[in-house]
Amino acid sequence: MSAIHTWACFLLCLSFASPDKTPDIIVTCSVSGECVLPCSFPPGSEETIEWFKQEVVVYKFEREEKDDNDSSEEHFKHEQFEGRAAIFPHLVARGNATLILMRSGLKDRGTYRCHVHTSSSEHNAKVIVKVEAPIRGLSLVLSRLSGYEEMKCSVRDVYPPPRVSWATEPPTFEDLRPVTRMRADKQGLYSVDSRLKRLNGQPNLIYICKVTTSYGGPSWTASLREREIRGTEGRDLTIPCHAPPYLNKPFLHWSFTNGEDTSLILTYDSQSGNSVSLRPWDNHVELDGYAVPFGDGSLRLMDPKHLQHTGSYTCVFSMPYITHTERTEVAIDNYDVDRTTADKPSYWWIVGLVVALLVVALAGMLAYLKVKGVPSKSRKDPEAVTELHLVKDSSADSHLNESSPLTVGGTNGPSAPPTGSQIT
């Protein structure tokens, strides 16, 4: 209990020691916009209002009551605020000494003090002014100016200098090594270019660029996916577009460019479910409204034409401070060219016919050689047939000599004389 009593006494003494102490007010203003420095005081009469910046008077206002008529006069304006600073004179009697700074700039940053003196009291208030140039938009494109493909994330006229970070969807294990450059103009506003080389072998990656400021304002995120597809004239073609999972019921719009003109194809509001197709695309495109709230904004291109529908199709999912873009280069092949090519007289049938004739001729030749080279047994080998005849004749003669009485003595011995013959 003693500790609680001690803190209570300390706070009570502090409140009595500074009865006119008001908490500091922090105001964040935008470049080129109006900056409101609030100051309220107990109403009185014969008010004198002074605004200080780092203890230098930059604005002074007096109001006097004479003969039941109020007269007011701005006695002083610092050259930095000439033509830009004012209060509301008709509100001074109500205790309002708010200062309005028009066309605020970075030079207006600092600590201000509002001092009000009336016939009955004095009042002081401190206002800390921060000036920023918030992010108005974020650009993310595919660039090939460096000799290779790289993602370029850009933001212009920002203060204070922002921080840029990169990611991919799905995440990759490769180190992302972006190169970020910042430069300030004469007013102190920064332009930022951050470049990330496109990863090889991963054509379907989503590249995500996120930009944040040090004043704690909203972060901006832009993501991009690039692809190429081909179609044929007269055949329906689906151009894919899928939002990252962190987008919840975004707004969708499709556009088309052929390198010269850009036209809006359709828009879709996921909140209301309303889809609007613009002419002349209304008869050539179709969107599945049930799939868009779930991140599928694919476009069906019906009866495409070679000249009319070859080009770049851009699908953009958008929410406050977040955009996702998918850019698809679509080439519609000319149906007439394909048909002409198909209708051209083909000479392959001649080649086929020649090959078939060669095969038939070769088969006939092989058959002829087979028939000629494999005759009957009696005509198989003329020399063998002649030798066979000789062997047969020799065998027949031998048999005849052995059986005939004229050849009993054999062929080598003397023959016996015939019976009845006279020997000389």
| Cα–Cα distance measured from residue 372 to residue 108, given in angstroms and rounded to the nearest whole number | 116
* Fold of domain 19-132: Immunoglobulin-like (2.60.40)
Q: What is the pLDDT of residue 271?
A: 81
Pick 23 or 109 by higher pLDDT: 109
Q: Which CATH class is domain 135-218?
A: mainly beta
Q: Give the chain's mean pLDDT.
A: 80
The structural architecture, per CATH, of the domain 225-343 is: Sandwich (2.60)
Q: Which residues 6+ apart lie within 8 Å of 171 measured at CB?
A: none
| Strand pairing category for 122-132 and 150-158 | unpaired
Kindly report the pTM of this predicted structure. 0.67
Mean pLDDT of 343-360: 75
DSSP 300-339: EE-S--HHHH-EEEEEEEEETTEEEEEEEEEEEE-HHHHH
pLDDT at residue number 348: 74
Least confident of 42-56, 255-269, 308-322, 381-395: 381-395
Q: Please report, for residues 135, 139, 250, the alpha-carbon distance to residue 322 in angstroms, rounded to integers and kept in the order given.
A: 12, 11, 9
Q: Which residue shows structure tokens 């038939």? A: 360
Query: Quick check: 406 pLDDT over 90?
Result: no
Measured CA angle at 41 (ends 36, 46), to 5 deg: 110
Which residue intervals of the chain bear CATH 2.60.40.10?
A: 19-132, 135-218, 225-343
Closest CA to 100 of 56, 180, 34: 34
Confidence of residue 213 (pLDDT cuts 50, 70, 90): confident
Residue 318 has pLDDT above 90, yes or no: yes
User: What does the pLDDT read at residue 71?
Assistant: 56
Residue 55 scores a pLDDT above 60: yes
